[in-house]
Each structure stands twice: as structure tokens, then as C-alpha cells.
Chains A and B, each alone.
Chain A
Amino acid sequence: QVQLVESGGGVVQPGRSLRLSCAASGFTFSTYAMHWVRQAPGKGLEWVAIISYDGSSEYYTESVKGRFTISRDNSKNTLYLQMNSLRAEDTAVYYCARARAPFDFCLDSWGQGTLVTVSS
């Protein structure tokens, strides 16, 4: 079965960096686009970024452009989110999720999430 396990969350000071990882198993990781989605405490879902199956294309929500970088290592079945210049408003649970099919970008499998808290 599909399994996505995020790691790397924690408490970080404003302006600092953090890298999240998402280990994938149970499917052929290299053939699926992957997303990051976040949810601030008590708030709704916010789509953050997507990367194509081969890493050749990336897209971001406006508020993280230039600060966050999504990447993947298909040899390690792992998705990453490098977060730089973190702000208090980046505090959220970060989920990785799989796109349902090639060229079908709805999210059919989600990890359990990892909490990022940006605070001094």
C-alpha cells in the first residue's frame, strides 16, 4: 500500500532554514508528481508546491516563491522541501501527497504530516 512518511519538522527561529523529507513506499515513486500542502493551526489547507515525476518542473504558491524549493531523489524514493527565510506565518503542519496519476494532479495519498513551528 502507498505510504508517505514526512520528517524534519521542528521549532526554528524566524529567518532560519529547515529541510523536510518525505519517504515514499508502496508505489513506483519515479512515475508520480508529488505535492507539498500545509495547514496552519486551526486553519484550512494551503497548497504549497508540486514537482513533476522526473523533477524537471516545479511550481509554487506565491507566498513561498524564492524561499522554498521542492526537489526529489528518485533513487531514494524521497521528496524534499527546503525552506529558507522562514516566517511566523509558515508555521503549519506540512503534508506530502501524491498526484493521482500522470497529468492528473489531484492528491490521492497523503502522509501524516510534520509540524513546523517558526518562533523566536
Chain B
Amino acid sequence: AQSVTQLGSHVSVSEGALVLLRCNYSSSVPPYLFWYVQYPNQGLQLLLKYTSAATLVKGINGFEAEFKKSETSFHLTKPSAHMSDAAEYFCALKRGGGNKLTFGTGTQLKVEL
């Protein structure tokens, strides 16, 4: 069975500090991985996706993620946090050729002055 684990349901950083949101996956076949962001009272918006073309994936708003097969991880980073980054972030996994996305439980990011 495939699954996604997001470590830390709440992460707090200072404005300007590094953002690191952790995602580990379990999949018996090569996965396709996604990060979504959800701003308050809104739907989910795609930040970036890994589809095996490159292990370092750049997304919108300065976010990037690195796929590490040996660590079964796909952590999301941003060098310098901005107040506008405060939101909930979801990691999701899709098996190649499948229809379904499996979501992690989400990480709420708080950015403090």
C-alpha cells in the first residue's frame, strides 16, 4: 500500500528564515509526488510536482523540493519565509498510471515577525 507521512502538523518559522516541511512516502512502485498549498478558506493550489524528470523540482513562490529515493523523502524548502507563506501544505503521492492521489495529513506553517 502507498502512503505519505508529513512530519510535524505545525511548523513555525521567523520571517526570512529557512522553511523546511518534511514529507516521506511509501510506495512499491516509482511514485509521482506533489506539494499543494491551501490558504485559509480556499481550495488547494499546486506548488510543484515530481515526475522523475529531475530530482530537484522548482515550484511557484520560491519553493522547491528534492526527491531522494534512498531516503524515500520529498521535503519542501524555501530559503526565506515570507508572511504570505502562512498556509497549510499537503504532500501527495500518485502511483504511475493510477487515478488516485494519496494525501498526507498536512503541515500548518506559521510565519512570525
Please indicate whether A and B come from the same complex rather than being unrelated chains.
Answer: no
CB within 8 Å of B: which residues of A? none
